[in-house]
Copies of this chain bind each other. A is one copy, B any other.
Amino acid sequence: MRLSRYFLPVLKEAPADAQIVSHQLMLRAGMIRQEAAGIYAWLPLGLAVLRKVEQIVREEMNRAGAVELLMPTLQLADLWRESGRYDAYGPEMLRIVDRHERELLYGPTNEEMITEIFRSYVKSYKDLPTNLYHIQWKFRDERRPRFGVMRGREFFMKDAYSFDVDEPSARAAYNRMFVAYLNLFARMGLKAVPMRADTGPIGGDLSHEFIVLAETGESAVFCHKDLVEMPAPGTDLDWFGDLQPIVDGRTALYAATEEMHDEAAFDAIPEGDRLSARGIEVGHIFYFGEKYSKPMKAFVTGPDGVDKPVHMGSYGVGVSRLLGAIIEASHDDAGIIWPESVAPFDVVLINMRPGDEACDKACDEAYAALTKAGRSVLYDDTDDRAGAKFARADLIGVPRQLIVGPKSLAEGNVELKVRATGERTTAPIQSVIAELSQANA
């Protein structure tokens, strides 16, 4: 993508009401624009990262056997009356009346609708286990939206729903999501710790929040410090085998959110291993058994011929919020530092002197070669001053900067800067192109 044809409105300063660094940087880097309180437009750079994050979530859901569908944003109020949540859900639910005076709502979550879909088609235990997910815009009418996409009102969420014939099988479904979450957050460069959590308006018996530690986190969390650096289990697993040992390996150590905190249990951890911190919730999983299937009559016939309510769980990932969490975890004074897996581009190609024949030619060749190798390249072909180009490249956080200037080029060289480390090397252009073509991006 040539920058002269792109739409990247970077700002010198963030608006004063942006309190946390991720919000400031997303505004400054031209990733988002606020259209109403807690409602954002995703400008091209922001959308590019959002799609990367979404795709990682999708791949890990698919790998764990979940099947993607897509439910609409608007739902019938009557559906929520079946579960009893229409009246129970507070003012966070955006309630809507259409031209025919029918009551609708903008879905804040989809337990009711997926249960309705399931019960319409699935009748036998033979069709289980089933896990259906979607990645869709949701709305929660937060009283005080803030922190940019971290606590927005219209937000992008992945929510999966598992259906099983009994509790042990439902627990296996829960474990698959638990393990998939460990992997998907790790793929984004995040250290997310599963913590025992309150079930809130979703309800149920068992629940874990996946928490990224950050000073700007909204909630207090308590855990054994070894959990933070524990490596992800990896994807080479028998997903329908026994994942309990992996889950046990995490849950054996203490980790809880404030609502579930047990001071005595925490104090039993050796003092040097106790971690009391603040965290950002990036995922939340629930096992709630028959809470929705029973009132909504989602029954399946068991092997014994008896109809029983299906056992369910639900599994959320805050896709849009993850961008804020990643930036909170990965930035410096100059701007964002994207992990390669979610970077909007692999390389920024900076032409130091557009119009100079040699620079233009070298840039065109590098652009063509890298694109052919499957790298995504943002080619800064603008007339801006060198300082502005460097500052912008640092701000938007693309992992590698390939700098083509007339002086170096006269000797056949270009400069390569690694955004994360600031490391700069000067080398022959062909060897830099060859290196970048093989990058693990």
Contacts and interface: CB of A to CB of B under 8 A. Distances in A.
A69 B44 contact: yes
B7 A67 contact: yes
Given A71-B35, A76-B35, A117-B41, A99 B141 contact: yes
Interface of A: 5-7, 9, 30, 33, 35-37, 39-44, 46-47, 50, 65, 67-76, 79, 91-92, 94, 96, 98-99, 102, 104, 106, 113, 116-117, 120-122, 130, 132, 137, 139, 141, 143, 154
B42 A132 contact: no
B5 A67 contact: yes
Contacts of A42: 69-71
A211 B139 CA distance: 35
B102 A91 contact: no
Contacts of A74: 36, 39, 106, 139, 154
7 contacts: A5-B65, A7-B67, A41-B113, A50-B70, A73-B73, A74-B106, A94-B99
A409 to B, nearest CB: 26
Contacts of A72: 35-36, 39-41, 137, 154
A70 B98 contact: no
Contacts of A121: 7, 9, 30
A51 B67 CA distance: 14
B70 A41 contact: yes
A121 B29 CA distance: 13
Contacts of A73: 73, 137, 154
Contacts of A37: 102
A36 B76 contact: yes
A7 B70 contact: no
Given A74-B139, A130-B7, A139-B74, A91 B99 contact: yes
A155 to B, nearest CB: 10
Nearest to A39: B72
